[in-house]
Amino acid sequence: MKKLFLFLPLLFFHCKSKPAFNKNQILGAWKADSVYHFTNGFVQAIAIVDSDENIVYEYDSTGSVFMKKDGEIRRIHYKFIREDSLAYFDSKGQFMTGYKILALTPEKLVLKKIQKPMFSGKNQEVFEIRRFSPVPSQRKP
């Protein structure tokens, strides 16, 4: 009986619909803090400290995101797809990649990307989750 009482709140929490994200909260500069890789039950969590992954992403209101690392700046475009998905496009408008938004608040941005399985066969699950935190703006006006 105790298990039922523990299970019911979890079921309620899981079934509760998520509120729509305030899309304006993505505006500004973000840097990745950690990456969580999941491959068929194997988990690897990586804290990002001065590595190739340490890129600042600055989102503006025109749909551009500026990626900055070591003084180099690259511009791509972003677009919200549905209420919980974010897609990136190159300068020619070609789709590059997409992420599911798990969290978007002034304090954090969490994106999930489903990846291709490493092996052939069914019942495989491969994804990564990237957690970002806000940083002061990196672009000059």
Range of the domain at 93: 22-135
Q: Residue 44 falls within a domain, yes or no? A: yes
Residue 46 has what pLDDT? 74
Q: Identify whether 5 is part of a domain.
A: no
CATH of residue 43: 2.40.128.540
Q: In this structure, what token pair is assigned to residue 135?
A: 């940083």
Which residues is 38 bridged to in the sheet?
Answer: 43, 127
Domain count for the chain, please give it. 1
Residue 70 lies in a domain: yes
On whether the CB atoms of residues 64 and 76 are closer than 8 A, the answer is: yes
How far apart (Å, rounded) are the C-alpha atoms in residues 82 and 15?
19
Residue position matching structure tokens 């897609």: 87
**Half-sphere exposure for 38 (CA within 13 Å, toward CB):** 11
Question: Which among 76, 46, 48, 82 is positioned nearest to 62, based on CA atoms?
Answer: 76
pLDDT of residue 15: 43
Inside any domain, residue 12 = no
CA distance 48 to 34: 5
Q: What is the pLDDT of residue 51?
A: 53
The predicted structure's pLDDT at residue 11: 39
pLDDT at 55: 87
In a domain, 7, yes or no: no
pLDDT, one tens digit for every residue, the chain (141 residues) = 444 344 434 434 444 455 567 899 999 999 989 888 888 777 777 777 655 557 899 999 999 999 998 889 999 999 999 889 999 999 999 999 999 999 999 999 999 998 877 767 677 788 899 999 999 765 554
The pTM (predicted TM-score) of the whole model is: 0.75
Tell me, yes or no, whether 66 lies in a domain: yes
Domain-located, residue 15: no
